[in-house]
Amino acid sequence: MSARSGFDRRQFLKTSTGLVIGFTIVPGLAPKLALAQEASKAAARPLPDPNAFLRIGEDGSVTVLLAHSEMGQGIWTTLPMLVAEELGCDWSQIKVEHAPAAPAYVHTAFGMQMTGGSTSTYTEYDRYRQVGALAREMLVAAAAKQWKVEPSTCRVEKGYVVSGEKRLPFGKLAAAAQKETPPKQVRLKDAKDWTILGKPTKRLDSPEKVTGRAQFGLDVKLPGMMTALVARAPVFGGKVKSFRAQKAKAISGVKAVVEVPSGVAVVADRFYAARLGREALEIDWDLGPGAEITTERLREEYRALAQTRGATAAEAGDLDSGFRSAAKTLEADYEFPYLAHATMEPQNCTVRIGDGECEIWTGTQFQTMDQKNAAEILGLKPEQVKIHTTFLGGGFGRRATPTSHVVTEAVHVAKAAGVPVKVVWTREDDMHGGYYRPMWLHRLRVGVDATGFPVAWQQAIVGQSIVAGTVFEPMLVKDGIDGTSVEGAADSPYLKQIPNHRIDLHSPRSPITVLWWRSVGGTHTAFAMECMVDELAHAAGKDPLAYRRLLLKNHLRHLGVLNLAAEKAGWGTPLPAGRFRGLAVHESFNSYVAEVAEVSVVKDRIRVHRVVSAVDCGICINPAGVRAQIESGIVFGLTAALYGELTFKDGRVQQANFNDYPMVRINEMPAIEVHIVPSKEKSGGVGEPGTPPIAPAVANAVFAATQKRLRNLPLRLA
């Protein structure tokens, strides 16, 4: 553990047994269920090697290595909190680094090194605490030996081991502790004894991020490095037929023009030269069938599909008899466009290829996949590819591509150019680059009895599968159902109260690449479910809160957040003139969130003034982080609710930048309150669960304001 004699990354990589991509997801189970099962096995897992996660320097510094990527979600702070609670160091001694890509850091539930699914904190809850506890025991053992006392007489205190009058700082014990054998088992602190966990804790990455020192992928600079821009096909699936590079090569600063599988790369000494060079390229494209894609035609196809039987995602009772017994039937289509993640830092990757090795600098959520995919191109073993994870200028799922297309393209360019290369995506490249949240259609038909209670629920969901065609398909698609397409609908608590129901899924294939986008299935299922329930409440002449309470009476955690949000928002109390409330509640990533939105509508313009949210995420590690993440999820979802839309014409994406793909800005920011339900349940995620409820909460408030049901996103009154 000492900085000098301790853990050496190269040595570690040498002695490791090589990279194994061990997907441990149980086939056929919804990802969430599989995750819960895997997480429950954690207790049976051998204790981690503290040397892989922790270095204690002679200066007393405690460096925590992160198995996950910091992309804004705050694990740069949360994972060290887990270590520090058990280790007993002083919080000011903590330093943080991203871990290299290596088997020691594979996700405890997913079996590959990655960041996603709002899992980083709760799947590391045991491992990082164990690391801290193991290191503490080794430091105590070293001190006890030196003092010739029983270890049981020793305790740790803010970076010191103490026994009676004797005190030694961790830094002075680190070298000796390194030689101790880690104990076979450790006892973790009881929650009532926590001094760090559960307390609002400020971020550790602030100083470098407010001074501009923080290094993102785009900031990487290597000796002799060139910058490349790639001209990619203007439509999905298009290929280069032929190209002429003379004019591009004539641009001052352009060093090379090389063809790669994804297009034609212009390699230059600077970004601007690469951009001018790319503009000067003359390329003939073989566009292929992707050039036929238009949004209107896709919508027609989706509507036609929704009329047919698909794969059955959920089924109970007898729909026909349910509808026959219904006093009234409501029907509604909800439609959702393709969305770009639009991370503030556009895609980029820097690659240096050496002799029998390759180094990659990038902000990635998928180290193991990137390592494997890069190695395949170069004929290397995965462990010969070294990944340097930088800070991520936003992730939201975009930097977790099963194809590693950003990384593999950069490897191809560096290989063809024969120099270290940083491939930069312009904003327009990023917006046109695919890997979108899929377009979706939900068609609902619901029969209610004379009291307005649903007795038959039929739902067809149409949209591309995110995992189809990827290495995840065999694991995550079962009987034609991609669990990420129907999560939040097929497992909805509402359906459990409805005796007759069926959900059909259609997963059309398309050249348009799609990907997980913050909260994944919840981005559309929560809207369909929560808007339909609101419509049912209105049809029954009941208050939307009271109606939900009735349907969710057996779901205590849903009820808990619903009641807390309603109480804090003053549900049912008078509002200033022109203000109206809407409500939604949704569980995702094992956390429960309810949101009450307060809106006004003036000249068809929707303005969200206030959002009151309540979250039950089980045991809360860092309340400050939870609040920030729920706020963040709400703003992300609000941008999708009010603005987000990519459309296609002749295969071309019609939006390109923040001028035509707008974002919520500070002048449109609602006042957001986040109320955390005290809980001793197992922790859930918080990075994503704030997103799903906001769009339905706003749409339901717009209905209250205008009596108009807006069933398509983004919400438009005119």
Partner 1 sequence: MIRLNVNGKDHVLDVNPDTPLLWVLREDLGLTGTKYGCGIAFCGACTVHIDGYAARSCVAPVSSAQGKKIVTIEGLAPAGKMHAVQRAWIDEDVVQCGYCQPGQIMAAAALLAERPQPTDADIDAALSGNVCRCGTYQRIRAAVHRAAGAAEKTQKAQKSEKKS
Residue 634 in the binding site for partner 1 (CB under 8 A) = yes
Residue 501, SS3? strand
Would you say 387 and 351 are in contact if contact means Cβ atoms under 8 Å apart? no
Per the DSSP assignment, residues forming a β-bridge with 311 are 505
User: CB of 579: closest distance to partner 1 in angstroms?
Assistant: 18
Helices (H), 588-622: none
Please, which residue, 13 or 715, has the CB nearer to partner 1?
Answer: 715
Q: Token pair for residue 153?
A: 């007489």
**Window 400-439: residues binding partner 1 (CB under 8 A):** 424, 426-428
In what helix (H) or strand (E) does residue 626 lie, and over which residues does it extend?
helix 623-642
Residue 658 in the binding site for partner 1 (CB under 8 A) = yes
Tell me which stretch binds partner 1 (CB under 8 A): 133-141, 266-274, 476-484, 498-506: 266-274
**One of 17, 152, 181, 659 touching partner 1 (CB under 8 A):** 659
**One of 9, 95, 241, 665 touching partner 1 (CB under 8 A):** 665
User: CB of 76: closest distance to partner 1 in angstroms?
Assistant: 10
Please, which residue, 506 or 627, has the CB nearer to partner 1?
Answer: 627
**Window 66-85: residues binding partner 1 (CB under 8 A):** 71-74
User: CB of 229: closest distance to partner 1 in angstroms?
Assistant: 12
CA within 13 Å, CB half, 478: 15
Q: Which of 561, 691, 686 is nearest to 624 (CA)?
A: 686
User: CB of 312: closest distance to partner 1 in angstroms?
Assistant: 37
Please identify which residue in the block is written with the tokens 């036609």: 304
Q: Phi and psi for 638 in degrees, rounded to 5? A: -70, -40
Tell me which stretch binds partner 1 (CB under 8 A): 123-131, 216-224, 353-361, 533-541: 216-224
Tell me which stretch binds partner 1 (CB under 8 A): 178-186, 214-222, 292-300, 331-339: 214-222
Residue 203 in the binding site for partner 1 (CB under 8 A) = yes
Residue 92 in the binding site for partner 1 (CB under 8 A) = no
Q: Which of 537, 546, 473, 560 is nearest to 509 (CA)?
A: 473
| Sheet containing strand 62-66, strands side by side | 54-56, 62-66, 94-98
CA within 13 Å, CB half, 568: 23
Please, which residue, 219 or 543, has the CB nearer to partner 1?
Answer: 219
Residue 517 in the binding site for partner 1 (CB under 8 A) = no
Please, which residue, 69 or 492, has the CB nearer to partner 1?
Answer: 69
**Window 313-372: residues binding partner 1 (CB under 8 A):** 342-346
Q: Can you list the positions of beta strands (E) in 121-215?
A: 155-157, 160-163, 166-169
* Integer Cα distance of 650 and 648 in angstroms: 7
Tell me which stretch binds partner 1 (CB under 8 A): 102-110, 285-293, 553-561, 654-662: 654-662
**Window 383-402: residues binding partner 1 (CB under 8 A):** 391-396
Residue 547 in the binding site for partner 1 (CB under 8 A) = no
User: CB of 214: closest distance to partner 1 in angstroms?
Assistant: 5
User: CB of 411: closest distance to partner 1 in angstroms?
Assistant: 22
Residue 693 in the binding site for partner 1 (CB under 8 A) = no
Count the site residues for partner 1 by CB under 8 A. 62
Binding mask 459-488 for partner 1 (x = CB under 8 A): ------------------------------
| Sheet containing strand 348-353, strands side by side | 254-260, 263-268, 226-232, 421-424, 348-353, 358-362, 385-389
Would you say 462 and 306 are in contact if contact means Cβ atoms under 8 Å apart? yes
In what helix (H) or strand (E) does residue 701 lie, and over which residues does it extend?
helix 694-706
Residue 279 in the binding site for partner 1 (CB under 8 A) = no
Per-residue DSSP letter, 436: B
User: CB under 8 Å to 94, separation ≥6 — which residues?
Assistant: 61, 62, 63, 64, 80, 83, 84, 204
Residue 664 in the binding site for partner 1 (CB under 8 A) = yes
- Give Cα separations from 644 to 293, 440, 605, 656 (angstroms): 19, 13, 15, 12
Per the DSSP assignment, residues forming a β-bridge with 104 are none
In the chain, how long is the greatest CA-to-CA distance? Answer: 83
Please identify which residue in the block is written with the tokens 């000492």: 2
Residue 631 in the binding site for partner 1 (CB under 8 A) = yes
Residue 36 in the binding site for partner 1 (CB under 8 A) = no
User: CB of 83: closest distance to partner 1 in angstroms?
Assistant: 20
- Give Cα separations from 153 to 87, 88, 89, 277 (angstroms): 17, 16, 18, 71
**One of 45, 95, 167, 270 touching partner 1 (CB under 8 A):** 270
* Integer Cα distance of 398 and 434 in angstroms: 10
Would you say 560 and 677 are in contact if contact means Cβ atoms under 8 Å apart? yes
Please, which residue, 550 or 656, has the CB nearer to partner 1?
Answer: 656
Centre a 10 Å sphere on the Cβ of residue 315 and count the other Cβ atoms it contains: 14
Residue 535 in the binding site for partner 1 (CB under 8 A) = no
Residue 271 in the binding site for partner 1 (CB under 8 A) = yes
Please, which residue, 17 or 659, has the CB nearer to partner 1?
Answer: 659
User: CB of 28: closest distance to partner 1 in angstroms?
Assistant: 35
Please, which residue, 130 or 600, has the CB nearer to partner 1?
Answer: 600
Tell me which stretch binds partner 1 (CB under 8 A): 119-127, 267-275, 325-333, 506-514: 267-275
Name the site residues for partner 1 (rule: CB under 8 A). Answer: 71-74, 202-203, 205-207, 209-216, 218-219, 221, 227, 252-253, 270-273, 342-346, 391-396, 424, 426-428, 624, 628, 631-636, 638, 657-659, 663-667, 669, 671-672
